[in-house]
Structure 1
Amino acid sequence: MDLTVFLAVLAAAVMHASWNVLVKLELDRFLSLLLIQTLMGGAGLLMLLAFPLPAAASIPYAVASGLLHLGYNLFLARSYRTGDLSQVYPIARGAAPLLTLAVTWAVMHEDVSLMSAAGVALLVAGIWAVSLIGRRGLRLDGLTLFFAIGTSVFIAAYTIVDGLGGRASGQPSSYTGMVFVFDAVFLAATALALRGPGVVGQVAPYWRTGVTGAALSVGAYWIAIWAMTQAPIASVAALRETSILVVMLLSARVLKETVSPARLAGAALIVAGAMLIRFA
């Protein structure tokens, strides 16, 4: 992977992790996602105005991405209703790169070197080690596990769709903006249908904090879509999950969490996997 792309994806991982650790919204998970996604939709409109429009061939990909992101948001919110963040997050994020690798290699026949595949495997192993090893009381009921795994399927699906859409668009930046708009419209319509117009008043007081989270999310996914036009989709998908490592470091620094030897070993696996992807 080219050094510029590699560093850009690492920057995206830092942005993604930073918003998850530092941005605190006193809303349930669904409303938090609604607020962030709505603000991202506004950013998407600005991106469509600022950059040349994407090719028409990429519009179906953007629509599909919006629907897949809707499924992701609904499944993720449902997972967190009955499962802890520390248990649901690694399942959702850790399984997705493997699914992405399998589909891009077996179905799309994207060229993935043995070193890249090994890097993805090491990185995913590190994610699971950092997130789960040494934790007591690891319990997920069958329904929560279903939604957590379903979340990972949606992540893999929208990653592949957006990688293909970004390539078909000829303009990854405006394609990203279009995706943000569709994501916002679909989630807002669903929120109004499920919870009524009162959701507007519930999320409005938190817009200032939401702007920070939306800005970081916009930067993170904008970079990811651009990177997938420059490098194999599976490699980018795996590398951006180094956000788990950033979360661990920020939690130790900001939240004063203890970093165990097992988590340090997992961190080493993540770094080793990232290096294999970089030099593949």
Structure 2
Amino acid sequence: MSGLVAAVVLFAALLHASWNAIVKSGKDIFLSTVLVSVSAACISLAALPFLAAPSPASWPYLSASAVVQLAYYSLLAAAYKTGDMSHTYPLMRGSAPLLVALASWPLIGERLSPMQMGAVGCICAGIFGLYFAARLPATASAPSSTGRATAFALGNAVVIASYTLIDGIGVRLSGAPAAYTMWIFVLNGAGLLLWTAMRRPADLLAYAKTRWPLAAFGGFGSLASYGLALWAMTQAPVAAIAALRETSILFAIAIAALFLREKISRRRYLAIVLIAAGAVLMRAG
């Protein structure tokens, strides 16, 4: 993995943590999720006419990814509605690279080096350390994690691993990584908008009036984050990119502490050191 690819993936991780914080900070988390998705779709629609179309061979993967990611957005909203970002984000993002690494070899024939396998384990161990730190709050007033939030987050980890593998194959077949990415967001945004317009049209319009500037930034961050990650998957092994991208937890923890005012204990900081060490190992491998 070149230095440029590693830097791009880390920037994508920062963008990902940022748009998740926008969703989490909303008064109505599901509607925030919808607005972010629709904003990303609008940006994509504006750019698609200037891009080459994805190869027909990639469209089955594109369609499958769009369906799977509708489940992702639904579980994301449910997880943030029932739990803190510092609890649910590590579980969602931390479990996925391990699942991707285990599935990459039998599905697409990619093997990680021993050092990269160690990096995957190190990153996952650090993120699960954050999970256990959340279960042991530093103060009596700190909220403990809920079973429902944990279930939603772990379920979403399976979804994340699924679409990571689907898109890792699809983007390589597409011959047009940018257009492939933008079609995903167009299909996702259209599906979420249609469902919400049928169920909560008045709520959506009223919420959009006050939330659209942040939603627009979140949509850009969501689109750019995933697009950069997919581009990186054309330059390096899918599992390696998936693991390094999970360093978004470093940015998420900082955002949760500084902007969402969540408490960060020493146990959580120790877990963050493990994640940083894993990122260094992944770069060296």
Q: CA deviation at 1:256?
A: 6.4
2:153 counterpart of 1:148: yes
Identify the match of residue 220 of structure 1 among 218, 225, 228.
225
Match for residue 56 of structure 2? 56
Q: Which moved more, 1:91-100 or 1:35-44?
A: 91-100
Q: CA deviation at 1:252?
A: 4.3
Q: CA deviation at 1:229?
A: 1.1
1:126-163: CA deviation from partner (whole Å, max 9, x where unpaired): 1222454163254433x544322211111111111111
**Kindly tell me: are residues 37 and 113 of structure 1, through their superposed partners in 2, closer, same or farther at Cα, counting changes over 3 Å?**
same
Q: CA deviation at 1:88?
A: 2.3
Distance 2:82 2:130 in 1: 22
Distance 1:257 1:84 in 2: 8
1:199-253: CA deviation from partner (whole Å, max 9, x where unpaired): 4413321211211111111211110111111111111111111111112234445
Identify the match of residue 233 of structure 1 among 226, 235, 238.
238
SS of 2:109's equivalent in the other structure is coil
Identify the match of residue 191 of structure 1 among 196, 211, 228.
196
Distance 1:139 1:43 in 2: 36
Distance 2:69 2:270 in 1: 33
2:276 counterpart of 1:271: yes
1:69-97: CA deviation from partner (whole Å, max 9, x where unpaired): 10111122223333333332222221111
Match for residue 42 of structure 1? 42
Distance 2:97 2:253 in 1: 19
Match for residue 16 of structure 1? 16
**Kindly tell me: are residues 24 and 125 of structure 1, through their superposed partners in 2, closer, same or farther at Cα, counting changes over 3 Å?**
closer
2:180 counterpart of 1:175: yes
2:169 counterpart of 1:164: yes
Q: CA deviation at 1:255?
A: 5.6
1:9-54: CA deviation from partner (whole Å, max 9, x where unpaired): 0010111122334677533221111000001111111231222111
1:150-195: CA deviation from partner (whole Å, max 9, x where unpaired): 11111111111111111010110111111111111121222234x2
Q: Which moved more, 1:104-113 or 1:236-245?
A: 104-113
2:35 counterpart letter in structure 1: L
Distance 1:9 1:174 in 2: 19
**Kindly tell me: are residues 257 and 219 of structure 1, through their superposed partners in 2, closer, same or farther at Cα, counting changes over 3 Å?**
same
List runs of 5+ in structure 1 lacking aligned partners: none
Distance 1:111 1:154 in 2: 22
Match for residue 261 of structure 1? 266
Distance 1:14 1:237 in 2: 14
Identify the match of residue 205 of structure 2 among 195, 201, 208.
201
**Kindly tell me: are residues 43 and 99 of structure 1, through their superposed partners in 2, closer, same or farther at Cα, counting changes over 3 Å?**
same
List runs of 5+ in structure 2 lacking aligned partners: 138-142
Match for residue 117 of structure 1? 117
- Please give the root-mean-square deviation of Cα atoms over the aligned residues, in Å: 2.2
Q: Which moved more, 1:199-208 or 1:235-244?
A: 199-208
Distance 1:96 1:83 in 2: 19
Paired residues in the alignment total: 278
SS of 1:227's equivalent in the other structure is helix
TM-score by length of 1: 0.90
**Kindly tell me: are residues 253 and 25 of structure 1, through their superposed partners in 2, closer, same or farther at Cα, counting changes over 3 Å?**
closer
Q: Is the 8 A contact 1:78 1:147 kept in 2?
A: yes
1:177 counterpart letter in structure 2: M
Distance 2:160 2:252 in 1: 19
